[in-house]
Every structure is written in structure tokens, then in C-alpha cells.
Structure 1
Amino acid sequence: MASKFKYWVMAVLGMVIATGGAWWLQSKPQGPKDMVAVDKNQAGGPAAPKVAGVEAVKVLAQPLRDDAQAVGSLRARQSVMLRPELVGRITALNFKDGGPVRKGQIMVQFDDLLQQADVQQMQAQLAIAQANFNRTKELVAANFMSRQTLDTGAANLQVAQAQLVLAQARLSRMAVRAPFDGTAGIRLVNVGDYVKDGVDLVSLEDTRQMMVDFRLPERLGSKLKLGQSVELSLDALPGHHFKAVVEAVDPLLDANGRSIGVRAVLPNVSKPGEAQPLRTGMFARVTTVFSVNEAALVVPEEAIVPQGNRQFVFKLIAPEAGANLPPDTKFVSQRQEVTLGVRSQGKVEIVQGLSLGETVVVAGQQRLQKDGSPVRLVELGRPAGPKTAASQ
């Protein structure tokens, strides 16, 4: 027990001695050497601020577009899948797969012998009804028959005319005609097939004009206008670019994605002897151009320092005469609030706050604590891109 008590006493005394030594070292008065250093510093006046190394670029004027990118799919201006309205057996296919078709051309002909017979029967009945009506009309004029008989004959004539029209309509439905000029697809049936109504026969597309459907965010709705320019690039045709024009904007907003449907139209022009380059279903990368500023003031995005809802840059200006600055100081910093415009490819438009040719800091803003801080340029005129090691 005695040895344990002695051990605890020694430990407590060691802690007390260590604590007292630390307090004495922190609170000891300055010696003569320290006082001399302070006096020299005070004799020379306030110390000059430390020079901060920064990277900077000049404000440039260059063309800048306000645009938006999206993806879409190409569609033919007119496209239809031809289907029969009645059941029947195919007797003729009057087109070539992938060949041109004229409007009104009979593309698929069904067996129509029964329908032709019905038309001939109705024509005969119409002729009889017409003859009876003419005879009754003469007899009524001679007062040999009553007026009521003439009305009955006129009604019978109208019924015969209607029955003929009905028989001709049934006959016309046995032939599937092209609703517009276009190009036939690949046939899905053959001569001799017995098909039901509504079965797919062949597709028909008018590819002289193409449409591209795409969607844009709802915040761009106020910028969309009919006739705006649209640029397209297709993965299937690398290196080729196409221009389209906005034709329609969907009045309904997609509640799920908060986007607006847009449709643009472009011509599908081909060289003589070559197939048209654009086809339905092609994947398109769409760029909608809202406006173009030929001389926009731009700076790299790295120059912008956001603070709350306000945007600032640090521009470099010449120091004032008589300022307490290190020797050979050429620039000092000045914080400037700016109004931003369009952003594009790492550049941002300055609408208000800067002038052409002014120099702004793009790296090292954290070293500039206040306006008037001396600055040393590490690199001037660096293009927008990743920061170099000199700016770290």
C-alpha cells in the first residue's frame, strides 16, 4: 500500500510542475531582443500587404449564341400504314417494294366480282325506276293518274339511285389506293392472301420533307417562336449538319418531365441518282437557336464568384499614387458586381459591369481579401480550361 501511495503522490507532483512550467513560458515578459524587433517594425510604419499571385484574362468580344440542346427522332412529313376496310382475297399488288407511288394509284386490288355484279344490278334497277318515273309523269300530265302515284315513282327513283351509290362504294373499297405521293415500303402480304379488315398491307411515306420532334425544358417556353432556326446532327450521318425551322409548339406541357414538345421541319434533298439521306426513325441531336450576339463580352466561367443571388468578378486596375504597396506593384484587385447573360462552352456573357479589354482574375480569387490588394500575375491570357499548377 505504501508503494502505491508514493506512486500516486509522485504523479500528482509531476503534473503540477508541468502545468506551472507551461504557464511560465506563455506569460514571461519580452526580452530585449524581442523589444528591439517590435521597435524596428513600428519605426518603419505599417507593414506592406502581402502580394497575391493570380491568373487573369482580358474581357473579349466574340459571337455568342443563345441556344439549347436536345435529342429527337426524325419522321416523314406524311406517313401511313395502308389497311383494308373489308375482308377479301388479294388479286393484284400494283407497286414495287421501295418504289414511287402516285396519289390515287391502286396499290392493292381485292377480288371484287361480287361487288361489280351488285353495281350492275343496281344500275338495272335504276334504269327501271327511271323509266317508270318518266311514264308516270306523262300519265299524270294527261290526267290519267293521280299526283300521289307520281310522288311514289319519284321516291322509288331516289331509292334506286342510293342503292347504286352504295354498291359503287362497296366496289371502291375493294381497291386500296395511295392517299398521297410517296414511296412504298416493303409489302407485308402477297397475291392470293385472304386478309381481314384492318390488317397491315404496306407502308407509304412522303419523305420529301421530314419532321423532327423533340422536347425542351419549360423555362425556355417564353423563348420559343415559330420560324426559329434549328440545327441537326445525325449519328447515322457523321460530319453532316442540317437546318430546320420550328413549325409547331405543343400548347400542352408535360406534367411529368416539365417539358414542352416542339416540331421542326426540314427538306430531304438528295442528289440526282442518289437516295434521300434522311429516313424515318433516325436519332437526331437538335440545337435550337434563340438569338445570336455577334459582339458579346465574354469571360471564362472561372472568373465568376457568386455571393448569394449576386455575381462578382475581381478585376485588375492600376494602383493609386502614394498607396502603401510593395515595390514594382502594377495591379491591385477590385471587386465588381456583374450581370450575366448566356453561358456557352465554358464562357459566360457579361451583360453589365465590365468593358472590353479589362482584366479579370480567373484563379486565385480566394487570396484577395479586400479591394486594393496588390496582385502579381502568374499567367495572363490563359484560355478557359482546367486550372494549371501555378494557380494552386
Structure 2
Amino acid sequence: MASKIRYSAVAVVGILVASATAWWLQRGPQAQMQVAPAASSASAPAGASRPPAVEAATVAITRIVDDSQTVGSLRSRQSVVLRPEVSGRITALNFRDGERVRKGQLLVQFDDQLPRAQVQQSQAELSIATANHQRNQDLVAQNFISQRSVDESGANLQVAQAKLALARATAERLKIVAPFDAIAGIRVVNVGDYLKDGADIVNLEDLEAIYVDFRLPERFQTKLQRGQRASIDIDALPGRKFVAIVQAIDPLLDANGRSVGVRACIDNRQMHLRPGMFARVNTVFGEREKALVVPEEAIVPQGGKQFVLKLVPGAEADALVTQRTEVKVGVRRPGKVEILEGLNEGDRVVTAGQQRLQKDGTTVRVVDLASKAAAQPASAASAPQVAQASTPTAAPAKALAGPNPCLQAQAAGAVKPA
């Protein structure tokens, strides 16, 4: 009996201990959760009194080049494929592949035996007609013949002159001459070949000046003008830069691509460029030596307008507050934006942390990260300098004698005022 009472007491004590343990485990996390909000609420006022941290930059003055990059293709200033006007057999080729030819030089001669015989026949007929007309003029002066005979002999003389001119023109069509100074291409015919009218013989290319044709978006059409300069990079000639002069602007815009066609001229008297090359074009519209620029991170677009948060002195000493300022931007460059209106040299603007500023006139704390970056070891900054020094630079272009053919073409194509 006593043992049963003992076991019952032990069981009751165990149940009480288990219940107390479960109660303690449930109350512990709730107490911690209650303590945490209290601690956070106690620390909130201390954090709210500290101004938000932002990064800032100073409006600087620098040189800005207003330009645009695109691609284009090179083509000859003058190019033609020689083709005969009449059929015939080639009797002479007076040029070699790839050599320079002069304007008016006889390049191809076709068989002209029959036309030359016709020229001689026409010359004989002209001599007879001339003599008959002269004789009739003498006879009519002596009243031996009528004036009608003189008129008929004069008409016969004109017919003989026309036949001679026709025979000579027919003979000249069997000669092909160079229409301009150029370099001959690779011919596709030989002496003795019989060609039909319109068959290809050889191409002639004027390479003293090279045209580069390219297109620009329509927004640049108001900035384009004849005489502007463009920098040309050729992938086939790395490290070389060429200068092109804009000579023509297409008055018709491409409706599909909304772009305007431009043709510029490159001085190619050194014969480094060839038609068909791929070119990278950098067209320069203007340069400003004293342009105001800010980091592009400082621009805050809103509703089609551009704003910056300018830092101005606050009411307290050494305090800075934000001032929302609308600006007018100009040329954009990687990491920089030109400011045309709204800021002055030396103004400071917020570049990072704008999302922390809920209203205008907020007091801020400027964090200068530039000084930390400048404090890096000098050895880390010396590596790029060594790499830059080892980069090969293009050799200066050799001075050429004579005027620039592109400038001559531009002067010749200028319209003189009435």
C-alpha cells in the first residue's frame, strides 16, 4: 500500500515539473520579442537626429566636343567601267593592269579599216564638191550659168561635209580614251577578242581623293554643314586616323531608317585607302572650350524635365541642405553630362543618395569617397601608366606637296551668289 502511494507522488511531481518546463519555454521567445521592439523604439530617436549621408560632386569646366559616331564605306571620287558603243574586234590595248592613265589617253583600239576607208571616200567626195562649187561661183560671176546651179553645188558641198563628219565620228567610236586621270583596274579582255556593244572592258578609279558615304540620324540634320570635319578610322589600317571634309548632304531623308545621307572627302594622295573599305566615322559638329559638366548620376529626370539636387548652405553653421533645381542638358558623354542652364561653376550637386531625400530642403551629410579612392597605394595607379606608355602611336603623316584635292573640289562645287 505504501509503495502505491509513493509511485503516485513521484508521478504527480514529474507532471508538475514537465508543465513548468513547457510554460517557461513558451514564455521565453515572447519576452524577447517584447524586449526587442522596446530597444528599437528607444534607439529610433537617436538615429533620426542624424542627417542622411549622400555623395556630392562639384560642377566643373571642361572641353566638350559635340560629335556623333557612325560607320560608312569608301568609294572612288570618280569611277567608270569602260564599254564599247559599237561591236568590233580589239586590235590594241594601250595600258597595263593597275597602272595610271591620263585623261584623253587612247586605251582600247578596235578594228577600224572599214571606217577609215569611208573617211577617205568622204574626203574625196568633199574635194570634188568643193571644186565644183568654186567653179560654179566663177561661172555665175561671168553670167555663163544661173544662180540655181550655184545653189545646187553649195548644197552638194554641205552634204559632202556632213558625210565626212559622219565617217570620222564612226571611226572615233572605235577608239576608247580615258575620261579622266585614274588608275586602271584588271582588264577582262585581250587583243583579238570580239566584243558586243556594252561589254565590260576595264574599270578606272580616281583615287587621288576618296569619298566616304555614311548616314546619321535625322536629329543631326540641323547640325550638318558643308566644310565640317570628320575623323575616320579604318579597321584595315589600325592606328591610323584620317580627316574627311563634308562635301554633300542629301536633301532627302530615308523614310525607313529616318536618317540623312552624308558624303565626305579624304585626301588620298598617299594611296593608302581603297574603295570598298569599311570606315568608322566621328563627325564633329562643334567644340566648346568652357563647358559646364556634372556626373550623369546627378541628373534626376522627372516628367520630361531634368533636375539636380544642389547643395546650398543651411541655417546652421557648416550645414548643407538640398535645393531641387531644374537644368537644361546638352551633350552627353560617358559618365558626364553638359549643363547649359541652371548651374554655375563651383556648385555642388548630389550624385548618390537621392532616394534618401524625401523633400526639398533636407539637411544632408556629405560623404567624400573620392579621398578614399585617392588614398590607394601609388603602385596600383602606376600600372595603367606603364601600359599607356607602351601603347604604340601612329606615325605622323608625311606632308604632301600641292593643294588638297578635297578643298579644290569643294571650291569648284561652291555656288557663287548672283
Which bracket does the TM-score occupy, shorter chain normalised? 0.7 to 0.9
- Partner secondary structure for residue 339 of structure 1: strand
Cα distance in 2 for partners of 1:101, 1:266 equals: 21
Cα distance in 2 for partners of 1:240, 1:382 equals: 39
| Counterpart position of 1:364 | 353
C-alpha distance 97-381 of structure 1, shift in aligned 2 (>3 A)? farther
Q: What letter matches 1:214 in structure 2?
A: F
Say if 1:210 and 1:267, in contact at 8 Å, map to a contact too: yes
Instruction: Work out whether 1:341 is the aligned partner of 2:336.
Output: no
Say if 2:69 and 2:281, in contact at 8 Å, map to a contact too: yes
- Counterparts of 1:314-325 in structure 2, within 5 Å, are 314-321=309-316
Instruction: Work out whether 1:312 is the aligned partner of 2:307.
Output: yes
Cα distance in 2 for partners of 1:305, 1:341 equals: 15
C-alpha RMSD over aligned residues: 2.5
Cα distance in 2 for partners of 1:129, 1:277 equals: 59
Cα distance in 1 for partners of 2:47, 2:372 equals: 32
| Counterpart position of 1:21 | none
| Counterpart position of 1:85 | 85
Say if 1:90 and 1:192, in contact at 8 Å, map to a contact too: yes
Say if 2:314 and 2:363, in contact at 8 Å, map to a contact too: no
What whole-Å deviation, never above 9, does each CA across 1:272-317 have from its counterpart, x for those lacking one?
xxxx101111111111111100111111211100011211112233
**1:52 CA displacement:** 2.2
| Counterpart position of 1:325 | none
Identity, % of aligned positions: 56
| Counterpart position of 2:109 | 109
- Counterparts of 1:108-127 in structure 2, within 5 Å, are 108-127=108-127
Instruction: Work out whether 1:355 is the aligned partner of 2:350.
Output: no
Cα distance in 1 for partners of 2:158, 2:253 equals: 52
| Counterpart position of 2:365 | 375
**1:113 CA displacement:** 0.7
Cα distance in 2 for partners of 1:281, 1:381 equals: 51
Say if 1:49 and 1:374, in contact at 8 Å, map to a contact too: no
- Counterparts of 1:44-123 in structure 2, within 5 Å, are 48-123=48-123
Cα distance in 2 for partners of 1:250, 1:49 equals: 64
Q: Which has the higher contact order (CA 8 A, sep 6+)?
A: 1
Q: What letter matches 1:338 in structure 2?
A: V
Q: Which runs of 4+ in 1 moved over 3 A?
A: 46-50, 329-332, 380-383
- Report which of the two has the higher share of helix: 2
Paired residue total: 336
TM-score by length of 2: 0.76
- Partner secondary structure for residue 179 of structure 1: coil
**1:51 CA displacement:** 2.8
| Counterpart position of 1:11 | none
C-alpha distance 381-74 of structure 1, shift in aligned 2 (>3 A)? farther
Cα distance in 2 for partners of 1:111, 1:293 equals: 66
- Partner secondary structure for residue 253 of structure 1: coil
Unaligned 5+ runs, structure 1: 1-24, 26-32, 271-275, 323-328, 384-392
**1:333 CA displacement:** 2.6
Say if 1:229 and 1:289, in contact at 8 Å, map to a contact too: yes
What whole-Å deviation, never above 9, does each CA across 1:113-171 have from its counterpart, x for those lacking one?
11111111111111111111111111111111111111111011001101100110111
| Counterpart position of 2:187 | 187
Q: What letter matches 1:379 in structure 2?
A: L
**1:233 CA displacement:** 0.8
Say if 1:319 and 1:372, in contact at 8 Å, map to a contact too: no
- Partner secondary structure for residue 252 of structure 1: coil
Cα distance in 1 for partners of 2:91, 2:101 equals: 19
What whole-Å deviation, never above 9, does each CA across 1:249-292 have from its counterpart, x for those lacking one?
1111212211111111121131xxxxx10111111111111110
What whole-Å deviation, never above 9, does each CA across 1:70-126 have from its counterpart, x for those lacking one?
211111111111111010111111111110101100111111111111111111111
| Counterpart position of 1:236 | 236
Match of 1:301 among 292, 296, 301: 296
**1:373 CA displacement:** 2.9
**1:55 CA displacement:** 2.5
Q: What letter matches 1:374 in structure 2?
A: V
| Counterpart position of 2:175 | 175
| Counterpart position of 1:17 | none
Say if 1:57 and 1:382, in contact at 8 Å, map to a contact too: no
C-alpha distance 381-318 of structure 1, shift in aligned 2 (>3 A)? farther
- Partner secondary structure for residue 240 of structure 2: strand
- Partner secondary structure for residue 96 of structure 2: coil
C-alpha distance 111-377 of structure 1, shift in aligned 2 (>3 A)? same
Q: What letter matches 2:220 in structure 1?
A: L
Say if 1:333 and 1:375, in contact at 8 Å, map to a contact too: no
Instruction: Work out whether 1:279 is the aligned partner of 2:279.
Output: no
**1:54 CA displacement:** 2.4
C-alpha distance 297-196 of structure 1, shift in aligned 2 (>3 A)? same
Cα distance in 2 for partners of 1:263, 1:369 equals: 52
What whole-Å deviation, never above 9, does each CA across 1:319-367 have from its counterpart, x for those lacking one?
3227xxxxxx753333221111111223110111122222222222111
Cα distance in 2 for partners of 1:118, 1:93 equals: 24
Unaligned 5+ runs, structure 2: 1-29, 31-36, 374-418
| Counterpart position of 1:326 | none
Say if 1:319 and 1:331, in contact at 8 Å, map to a contact too: yes
- Partner secondary structure for residue 315 of structure 2: coil
